[in-house]
Amino acid sequence: MKKKALITGILGQDGPYLAKLLLGKDYEVYGLIRRYANPNFSNTDYLGITDKINFISGDMTDEASIINIIKAIHPDEVYNLAAQSFVGVSWDQSKVTTEINALGVLYLLNAIKYFSPTTKFYQASTSEMFGNSHIEGLQTEETPFYPRSPYAIAKLYAYWIVINFKESYGMYCANGILFNHESPIRGMEFVTRKITDGVARIKLGLSKEIYLGNLDSKRDWGFAGDYVEAMWLMLQQEKPDNYIISTGETHSVRDFLDIAFKYAGIDNWEKYVKLDPRFRRPAELFSLHGKNDKAREVLAWEPKVKFNELVKMMMEADLKRLSVK
Ligand code: NAP
Ligand code: G4F
């Protein structure tokens, strides 16, 4: 019999990459989607998998819908990727961010505990939980957490409630502490995609400039396609655990701009980039740089796509998309 996986956040960035991976492993894939007047399947379309997914309607903030879905499917594995995932917005919409990112996880865990207790559970935890905390410039599984946004605080609740259900009820629950990961289907508001879309527009004469916030922030940017493999591996281990998933390299927003403009063949990028205080955060994370030794050793996982290749992949996709319009 085929294994059944439920993916929440199926229409976001990671959901489609994970669904594609699981379909390739012959899973039956269920995807939870919210009710929309006009749902947007562009990301699953991009990966050519829309008609292979069993979409099921529900909402992370509606406990009864979550219970009904778990009861109906009895999935072997649940990957909880749904979130209000944009850090910047979490200060303005802190309640809904908390409801989705923290309470939604509790609803899922309770539904599994009562109605499908052998289901394995993956939680999309985040390097944002570290804030500016580090050990000699790096974040490891042992680095103390110090969240700096309503988003990160809600995610920290989720991280601990996952551990608590594992320890209290013997459930199979794993946290992937993922550092930033990107792709051609990254949401447009995140800095990488904003840059590749913006540079492609400038290159094609569709726009004159890009408005950005803090260019000195540093992130450990990897490729989403590599990171979903780590999610799956975490649920194939004998015992559940928590793992950092990162590239082990850190780069600034400026570095990203350098490579993107270079790829487009545009010199002196500074004249196209305008600083706009609207895109600065009330509290910033200055540098994320993850040590991924545990994932390499235990999961035999390693990132494949390098930083330069990632920027080029995203630039190429945005140039292609905008050229055919
Ligand atoms: P994303 O593109 O923003 O996708 C999030 C998905 O969650 C969207 O499909 C969204 O649905 C869904 N969602 C939001 N609220 C919901 C609700 N109330 N009920 C049901 N679904 C809801 O995020 P991503 O980049 O794929 O990230 C996946 C997960 O990993 C998120 O939990 C994120 O916080 C976490 N994470 C991401 C990164 C990263 O760098 N990408 C790093 C660490 C952790 P709609 O399409 O309907 O809006
Ligand atoms: O692309 P970002 O918005 O990603 P951020 O805040 O690091 O969060 C992402 O990664 C987290 C993992 O560490 C996830 F948990 C989270 O869900 C999300 O996927 O911003 C990256 C950096 C920040 O320092 C920001 O201040 O870029 C800086 N930045 C500078 N100008 C900008 C802009 N960010 C955005 N979004 N827009 C700008 O104009």
For residue 302, what is the DSSP state?
A: -
What ligand 2 atom has the least distance to the C-alpha of 220?
Answer: 13
User: What CATH number has the domain bearing residue 254?
Assistant: 3.90.25.10
Residue 319 maps to a domain:
yes
pLDDT, tens only, 113-170? 999 999 999 999 999 999 999 999 999 999 999 999 999 999 999 999 999 999 999 9
Q: In this structure, are residues 9 and 81 in contact, taking their beta carbons and an 8 Å threshold?
A: yes
pLDDT of residue 325: 62
Q: What is the mean pLDDT of the chain?
A: 98
Tracing tokens 């199979």 back to the chain, one arrives at 172
Q: Tell me how crowded residue 218 is: count the other CB atoms within 10 A of its CB.
A: 18
Q: Tell me how crowded residue 36 is: count the other CB atoms within 10 A of its CB.
A: 9
pLDDT, tens only, 217-269? 999 999 999 999 999 999 999 999 999 999 999 999 999 999 999 999 999 99
Of all protein residues, the one whose alpha carbon is nearest to atom 30 of ligand 1 is 124
Tokens of 31: 């995807």
For residue 281, what is the DSSP state?
A: -
Residues 125 and 202 placed together within one structural domain of the fold? no
What ligand 1 atom has the least distance to the C-alpha of 40?
Answer: 46
Residues 92 and 214 placed together within one structural domain of the fold? no
pLDDT of residue 324: 81
Q: What range defines the domain where residue 142 resides? A: 4-181+221-245
For residue 119, give every residue at least 6 positions away whose Cβ sits within 8 Å of its Cβ, in sequence order, or none. Answer: 70, 74, 75, 76, 77, 78, 112, 172
- Does ligand 1 lie within 6 Å of residue 126's CB atom? yes
- Does ligand 1 lie within 6 Å of residue 85's CB atom? yes
Tracing tokens 């194939």 back to the chain, one arrives at 236
Residue 292 maps to a domain:
no
Distance between CA 160 and CA 210 in Å, rounded?
39
Residue 297 maps to a domain:
no
50 labelled catalytic: no
Tracing tokens 């390693």 back to the chain, one arrives at 302
Helix (H) or strand (E) holding 244: strand 242-245
Tokens of 137: 């410039």
CA of 213 from ligand 1 middle (Å) equals 22
